[in-house]
Amino acid sequence: MAENKEEVKKLTEEELTTVKEHQSNLQRVLLDLGSLEAQKVQVLDAYKKFQEALEGTKKELEEKYGQVNIDLTDGSYKPIETKKK
């Protein structure tokens, strides 16, 4: 009986090394992207908290001083003029 073995075809060592390097680079980049996405979520959460804190402070100051424009360089403020119809 004649054995029907197919010849195993292989890449050269250099080609295999190149493919493995590219695959490794892609995996590393995907890992970095995941890490960056997690950091993005944390930064967005911090932004939301700071924004909410600022809005709370604005409401407190508006209750105390009314509607005013505040100069952030020296803390002075001027009332906001509303147009009367």
Q: How confident is the model at residue 6 (pLDDT cuts 50, 70, 90)?
A: confident
pLDDT tens per residue, range 28-64: 999 999 999 999 999 999 999 999 999 999 999 999 9
* 56 vs 80: CA distance, rounded Å: 19
pLDDT tens per residue, range 66-85: 999 999 999 999 999 887 76
C-alpha dihedral sign at 10, 14, 18, 23: positive
Count of positions (residues) in the chain: 85
More confident residue, 44 or 5: 44
pTM of the entire predicted model: 0.65
Q: Where are the domains of the chain?
A: 13-79
Q: How confident is the model at residue 2 (pLDDT cuts 50, 70, 90)?
A: low
